Protein backbone atom coordinates (compact mmCIF):
# COMPACT_ATOMS: atom_id res chain seq x y z
CA UNK A 1 0.00 0.00 0.00
CA UNK A 2 1.25 3.51 -0.87
CA UNK A 3 2.37 5.72 1.95
CA UNK A 4 0.80 9.19 1.99
CA UNK A 5 2.89 10.41 4.90
CA UNK A 6 6.34 9.23 5.92
CA UNK A 7 8.09 10.78 8.93
CA UNK A 8 11.61 9.75 9.91
CA UNK A 9 13.12 11.12 13.13
CA UNK A 10 10.86 14.13 12.67
CA UNK A 11 11.34 17.00 15.13
CA UNK A 12 9.15 20.09 15.10
CA UNK A 13 9.59 23.33 17.01
CA UNK A 14 8.74 27.02 16.73
CA UNK A 15 11.83 28.13 18.67
CA UNK A 16 15.21 26.44 18.56
CA UNK A 17 15.26 25.05 22.10
CA UNK A 18 11.55 24.32 22.46
CA UNK A 19 10.94 20.99 20.75
CA UNK A 20 7.26 20.13 20.35
CA UNK A 21 7.56 16.84 18.46
CA UNK A 22 10.76 14.93 19.07
CA UNK A 23 12.32 12.43 16.65
CA UNK A 24 9.02 10.85 15.59
CA UNK A 25 9.04 8.01 13.08
CA UNK A 26 5.74 6.87 11.61
CA UNK A 27 3.90 6.46 8.33
CA UNK A 28 0.30 6.77 7.18
CA UNK A 29 -1.00 4.60 4.35
CA UNK A 30 -3.13 5.84 1.49
CA UNK A 31 -6.79 5.42 2.34
CA UNK A 32 -6.23 5.36 6.13
CA UNK A 33 -8.56 7.10 8.54
CA UNK A 34 -6.34 8.43 11.33
CA UNK A 35 -7.04 10.17 14.62
CA UNK A 36 -4.32 12.13 16.38
CA UNK A 37 -5.12 12.88 20.00
CA UNK A 38 -3.29 14.50 22.88
CA UNK A 39 -3.68 17.05 25.63
CA UNK A 40 -3.88 20.77 24.86
CA UNK A 41 -0.45 22.03 23.81
CA UNK A 42 0.84 18.52 23.16
CA UNK A 43 1.69 19.38 19.54
CA UNK A 44 -1.11 17.70 17.58
CA UNK A 45 -2.04 20.86 15.65
CA UNK A 46 1.66 21.56 15.05
CA UNK A 47 2.05 18.09 13.59
CA UNK A 48 -0.96 18.70 11.32
CA UNK A 49 0.53 22.06 10.22
CA UNK A 50 3.70 20.26 9.19
CA UNK A 51 1.60 18.06 6.87
CA UNK A 52 0.42 21.10 4.89
CA UNK A 53 3.73 22.94 5.06
CA UNK A 54 2.82 25.72 7.50
CA UNK A 55 5.77 24.65 9.64
CA UNK A 56 9.00 23.09 8.40
CA UNK A 57 10.70 20.10 10.03
CA UNK A 58 13.46 21.22 12.43
CA UNK A 59 15.18 17.85 12.09
CA UNK A 60 14.56 14.57 10.33
CA UNK A 61 12.56 13.99 7.17
CA UNK A 62 8.90 14.40 6.32
CA UNK A 63 7.27 13.42 3.05
CA UNK A 64 3.63 14.14 2.20
CA UNK A 65 2.11 12.62 -0.96
CA UNK A 66 5.63 11.87 -2.16
CA UNK A 67 6.72 15.49 -1.73
CA UNK A 68 9.62 16.18 0.65
CA UNK A 69 8.60 18.92 3.08
CA UNK A 70 12.14 19.87 4.13
CA UNK A 71 12.99 23.25 2.56
CA UNK A 72 10.11 22.89 0.15
CA UNK A 73 9.81 25.54 -2.58
CA UNK A 74 6.70 27.75 -2.75
CA UNK A 75 5.64 26.33 -6.11
CA UNK A 76 5.94 22.72 -4.89
CA UNK A 77 4.05 23.58 -1.71
CA UNK A 78 1.26 25.23 -3.72
CA UNK A 79 1.11 22.15 -5.95
CA UNK A 80 0.84 19.85 -2.92
CA UNK A 81 -1.82 21.99 -1.25
CA UNK A 82 -3.96 21.81 -4.38
CA UNK A 83 -4.33 18.08 -3.58
CA UNK A 84 -5.12 18.51 0.11
CA UNK A 85 -8.41 19.51 1.74
CA UNK A 86 -8.11 21.27 5.10
CA UNK A 87 -10.76 21.86 7.75
CA UNK A 88 -10.13 24.15 10.73
CA UNK A 89 -11.93 24.60 14.00
CA UNK A 90 -12.46 28.28 13.14
CA UNK A 91 -13.69 27.39 9.59
CA UNK A 92 -11.44 29.93 7.78
CA UNK A 93 -14.07 30.98 5.26
CA UNK A 94 -13.65 34.14 3.19
CA UNK A 95 -16.21 36.53 4.71
CA UNK A 96 -16.59 38.71 1.60
CA UNK A 97 -17.41 35.73 -0.63
CA UNK A 98 -20.73 33.91 -0.88
CA UNK A 99 -21.03 30.34 0.37
CA UNK A 100 -21.06 29.13 -3.24
CA UNK A 101 -17.81 30.96 -4.06
CA UNK A 102 -16.16 29.76 -0.84
CA UNK A 103 -16.85 26.14 -1.79
CA UNK A 104 -15.60 26.90 -5.29
CA UNK A 105 -12.23 28.25 -4.04
CA UNK A 106 -10.13 25.06 -4.55
CA UNK A 107 -11.67 24.64 -8.02
CA UNK A 108 -10.87 28.27 -8.95
CA UNK A 109 -7.27 27.69 -7.81
CA UNK A 110 -7.05 24.45 -9.80
CA UNK A 111 -8.32 26.26 -12.89
CA UNK A 112 -11.65 24.49 -13.43
CA UNK A 113 -14.16 26.19 -15.72
CA UNK A 114 -17.34 27.76 -14.38
CA UNK A 115 -19.67 24.96 -15.59
CA UNK A 116 -17.67 22.13 -14.06
CA UNK A 117 -17.08 23.89 -10.76
CA UNK A 118 -20.71 25.13 -10.59
CA UNK A 119 -22.08 21.60 -10.88
CA UNK A 120 -19.58 20.24 -8.35
CA UNK A 121 -20.40 23.01 -5.85
CA UNK A 122 -24.17 22.40 -6.15
CA UNK A 123 -23.61 18.68 -5.55
CA UNK A 124 -21.48 19.32 -2.45
CA UNK A 125 -23.85 21.94 -1.05
CA UNK A 126 -26.55 19.28 -1.41
CA UNK A 127 -24.43 16.81 0.57
CA UNK A 128 -23.96 19.29 3.41
CA UNK A 129 -27.66 20.32 3.22
CA UNK A 130 -26.91 23.97 2.43
CA UNK A 131 -28.17 24.38 -1.14
CA UNK A 132 -30.67 27.02 0.02
CA UNK A 133 -27.87 29.08 1.63
CA UNK A 134 -25.63 29.24 -1.48
CA UNK A 135 -26.02 32.99 -2.02
CA UNK A 136 -25.47 33.97 1.61
CA UNK A 137 -22.23 35.14 3.23
CA UNK A 138 -20.44 33.24 6.05
CA UNK A 139 -21.33 35.70 8.85
CA UNK A 140 -25.02 35.07 8.08
CA UNK A 141 -24.65 31.35 8.91
CA UNK A 142 -24.41 29.54 12.25
CA UNK A 143 -21.12 27.96 13.36
CA UNK A 144 -22.36 24.49 12.42
CA UNK A 145 -23.43 25.64 8.97
CA UNK A 146 -20.09 27.39 8.42
CA UNK A 147 -18.22 24.22 9.28
CA UNK A 148 -20.36 22.29 6.81
CA UNK A 149 -19.40 24.86 4.17
CA UNK A 150 -15.73 24.33 5.11
CA UNK A 151 -16.31 20.58 4.78
CA UNK A 152 -17.80 21.02 1.29
CA UNK A 153 -14.84 23.23 0.33
CA UNK A 154 -12.36 20.60 1.58
CA UNK A 155 -14.00 17.98 -0.66
CA UNK A 156 -14.56 20.18 -3.73
CA UNK A 157 -11.36 19.28 -5.60
CA UNK A 158 -11.39 15.54 -4.72
CA UNK A 159 -8.23 15.74 -2.61
CA UNK A 160 -5.98 12.76 -1.91
CA UNK A 161 -5.70 13.82 1.72
CA UNK A 162 -8.06 15.59 4.12
CA UNK A 163 -6.59 17.22 7.21
CA UNK A 164 -9.05 18.26 9.91
CA UNK A 165 -8.09 20.22 13.01
CA UNK A 166 -10.78 19.79 15.70
CA UNK A 167 -13.49 19.85 13.02
CA UNK A 168 -16.40 19.38 15.40
CA UNK A 169 -14.96 21.19 18.42
CA UNK A 170 -17.65 23.88 18.60
CA UNK A 171 -20.50 22.20 16.76
CA UNK A 172 -23.99 21.04 17.59
CA UNK A 173 -24.82 17.32 17.32
CA UNK A 174 -26.49 17.60 13.91
CA UNK A 175 -23.59 19.44 12.27
CA UNK A 176 -21.10 17.07 13.94
CA UNK A 177 -22.90 14.04 12.55
CA UNK A 178 -22.96 15.58 9.03
CA UNK A 179 -19.20 16.27 9.23
CA UNK A 180 -18.33 12.75 10.46
CA UNK A 181 -20.52 11.05 7.89
CA UNK A 182 -18.96 13.12 5.08
CA UNK A 183 -15.46 12.31 6.31
CA UNK A 184 -16.37 8.63 6.49
CA UNK A 185 -17.93 8.81 3.02
CA UNK A 186 -14.84 10.44 1.52
CA UNK A 187 -12.68 7.75 3.10
CA UNK A 188 -14.78 4.73 2.14
CA UNK A 189 -16.13 5.80 -1.25
CA UNK A 190 -13.31 7.98 -2.64
CA UNK A 191 -10.48 6.24 -0.74
CA UNK A 192 -9.32 9.64 0.51
CA UNK A 193 -6.86 9.56 3.39
CA UNK A 194 -8.33 11.39 6.38
CA UNK A 195 -6.29 12.70 9.32
CA UNK A 196 -8.23 14.23 12.18
CA UNK A 197 -6.73 16.02 15.15
CA UNK A 198 -9.15 15.88 18.08
CA UNK A 199 -9.48 15.67 21.84
CA UNK A 200 -12.12 12.95 21.66
CA UNK A 201 -12.70 10.22 19.11
CA UNK A 202 -16.44 10.11 18.32
CA UNK A 203 -18.37 7.00 19.15
CA UNK A 204 -20.19 4.95 16.56
CA UNK A 205 -17.79 5.45 13.65
CA UNK A 206 -18.36 2.87 10.93
CA UNK A 207 -14.87 3.05 9.41
CA UNK A 208 -11.81 1.31 10.80
CA UNK A 209 -9.27 3.85 11.97
CA UNK A 210 -5.76 4.24 13.35
CA UNK A 211 -5.14 6.20 16.51
CA UNK A 212 -1.95 8.08 17.34
CA UNK A 213 -1.53 9.76 20.72
CA UNK A 214 0.98 12.53 21.38
CA UNK A 215 2.52 12.85 24.81
CA UNK A 216 5.67 14.75 25.85
CA UNK A 217 6.65 15.20 22.19
CA UNK A 218 6.41 11.50 21.39
CA UNK A 219 3.92 9.96 18.99
CA UNK A 220 2.58 6.56 20.00
CA UNK A 221 0.33 4.36 17.89
CA UNK A 222 -2.50 3.11 20.08
CA UNK A 223 -4.57 1.07 17.66
Partner 1 sequence: MKSLKNHISLIIALFTVLASVQIYVAVDRTIAAYESHLKNDYSVIVVANKAFTPQEFTAMSSMIERSEPISTEQVLERLKGEMSEKNLALLKLTLPKFYRIYLNRFPTPNEINNLQKKLQKNTAIERVEGFSQTHDTVYKLMLLFKDVVQVFSIAIAAVTSLLILKEMRLWQFQHAERMNIMALFGAPVWLRSAVLFRLAIVDAIIATLILCFAFFIIDYYGVLTLPLKEIGINVQLFNFVNDALRSLAISLGISIALTFTIVMFHSEEE
Contacting positions for partner 1 (CB under 8 A): 14, 49, 52, 54-55, 74-75, 77-84, 86, 92-96, 105-106, 108-109
Residues 85, 106: contact at Cβ < 8 Å? yes
- Tell me whether residue 63 or residue 177 sits nearer to partner 1 (CB atom): 63
- Tell me whether residue 11 or residue 25 sits nearer to partner 1 (CB atom): 11
Residues 218, 43: contact at Cβ < 8 Å? no
- Tell me whether residue 83 or residue 211 sits nearer to partner 1 (CB atom): 83
Query: Measured from the CB of residue 79, what is the shortest distance to partner 1 in angstroms?
Result: 7
Please give the DSSP secondary-structure letter assigned to residue 154: H
Query: Measured from the CB of residue 172, what is the shortest distance to partner 1 in angstroms?
Result: 24
Query: Measured from the CB of residue 92, what is the shortest distance to partner 1 in angstroms?
Result: 5
- Tell me whether residue 96 or residue 221 sits nearer to partner 1 (CB atom): 96
Spatial strand order of the sheet with 19-29 comes to: 19-29, 3-13, 59-64, 67-68
DSSP H helix total and E strand total for the chain: 6, 10
Please give the DSSP secondary-structure letter assigned to residue 206: -
Query: Measured from the CB of residue 11, what is the shortest distance to partner 1 in angstroms?
Result: 17
Cα–Cα distance measured from residue 177 to residue 118, given in angstroms and rounded to the nearest whole number: 26
Query: Measured from the CB of residue 174, what is the shortest distance to partner 1 in angstroms?
Result: 25
Residues 91, 57: contact at Cβ < 8 Å? no
- Tell me whether residue 75 or residue 189 sits nearer to partner 1 (CB atom): 75
- Tell me whether residue 5 or residue 80 sits nearer to partner 1 (CB atom): 80
Query: Measured from the CB of residue 82, what is the shortest distance to partner 1 in angstroms?
Result: 4
Q: Which of 67, 63, 71, 53 is nearest to 27 (CA)?
A: 63
CA torsion through residues 66, 3, 207, 203, sign: negative
Give the Cα-Cα-Cα angle 137, 103, 185 (nearest 5 degrees).
125
Amino acid sequence: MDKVIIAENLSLSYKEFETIISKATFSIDSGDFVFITGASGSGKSTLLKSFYGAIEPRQGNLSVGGVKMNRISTSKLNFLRRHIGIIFQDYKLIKEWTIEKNVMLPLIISGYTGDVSGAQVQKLLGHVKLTHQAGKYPPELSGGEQQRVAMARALAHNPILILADEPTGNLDDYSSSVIWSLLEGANTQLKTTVIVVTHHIPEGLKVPYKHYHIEFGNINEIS
